[in-house]
A = this chain, B = another copy of it.
Amino acid sequence: MAIPTEFSLAEAIAILTRTPAALDAVLRGLPDVWVLRNEGRTKDGNDTWSAFDIVGHLIVGERTDWMPRARIIVENGEARPFDPFDRFAQAKESQGKSLQQLLDEFARLRSENLASLQSMNLQPEDWTRRGRHPELGVVTLSQLLATWAVHDLTHVHQLSRVMAHRYRDAVGPWSAYLGVLNCAGHSAP
């Protein structure tokens, strides 16, 4: 069976290791207008996500998504489907916390999870191990790990868009040149 396109654990870890510091550099100490504003309501009346919500969502992923699913694949294979992921859990989980607390928590959990991942001592022959996603069906271990890294990037992508939204009018005619202001998001969220 072919190894999926160019997946490399070391390369994925290079991304995953850097995300907490990158979010910290962008967000810590930033005025609340940049941190708490969102892009308004969706068509079905839900609030879109602020920077604060995005960090909370990444924390929930560290707790309930990536490493728990990697362990299910290794221990149970397709026999046990993953637990569904709660995309709205951060509303409750982040309540009463400051952004600084969330940034610290995300950095700590990511660091612990990467230590656990490395202790699993996975090898290229493990990449094709299969698991069962509750909606997507059969997926492989390398797809899960690549998705973990790209999920970080998709939320950096979203974060820059959410922040830019605040100045969509302030830039005047330059909006035509600023791609981020013409991004409406591409999936939820």
User: Which A residues fall within an 8 A CB radius of B?
Assistant: 4-8, 10-12, 14-15, 18-19, 21-22, 24-26, 29-31, 33-34, 133, 136-137, 139-140, 142-144, 146-147, 149-151, 153-154, 156-161, 163-164, 166-167, 169-174, 176-183, 185-189
> How long is the Cα–Cα vector from A44 to B175 in the complex, in angstroms?
24
Give chain B residues whose Cβ lies under 8 Å from the Cβ of A7. Answer: 167, 170
Q: Which of B25, B160, B167, B180 contacts A25 (CB 8 A)?
A: B25
List 6 contacting pairs A-B, 8 Å CB cutoff, sorted by A: A140-B172, A144-B174, A147-B174, A153-B160, A154-B164, A180-B186
The answer to whether B143 touches A154, judged by C-beta atoms less than 8 angstroms apart, is no
The answer to whether B160 touches A178, judged by C-beta atoms less than 8 angstroms apart, is no
The answer to whether B169 touches A5, judged by C-beta atoms less than 8 angstroms apart, is yes
Give chain B residues whose Cβ lies under 8 Å from the Cβ of A156. Answer: 26, 156, 159-160
In the complex, the 7 A-B pairs of residues with the closest C-beta atoms, listed nearest first: A182-B186, A143-B172, A146-B170, A179-B186, A154-B180, A21-B25, A22-B25
The answer to whether B137 touches A173, judged by C-beta atoms less than 8 angstroms apart, is yes
Q: Which of B160, B173, B187 contacts A139 (CB 8 A)?
A: B173
> Distance (Å) between the CB of A24 and the closest chain B CB?
7
The answer to whether A146 touches B133, judged by C-beta atoms less than 8 angstroms apart, is no
The answer to whether B181 touches A183, judged by C-beta atoms less than 8 angstroms apart, is no
> How long is the Cα–Cα vector from A3 to B188 in the complex, in angstroms?
35
> How long is the Cα–Cα vector from A144 to B183 in the complex, in angstroms?
21
The answer to whether B25 touches A163, judged by C-beta atoms less than 8 angstroms apart, is no
The answer to whether A153 touches B163, judged by C-beta atoms less than 8 angstroms apart, is yes
The answer to whether B179 touches A157, judged by C-beta atoms less than 8 angstroms apart, is yes
In the complex formed, the residue of B with least CB distance to A26 is: B22
Q: Which of B4, B26, B167, B189 contacts A169 (CB 8 A)?
A: B4
The answer to whether A170 touches B22, judged by C-beta atoms less than 8 angstroms apart, is no
The answer to whether A147 touches B171, judged by C-beta atoms less than 8 angstroms apart, is yes
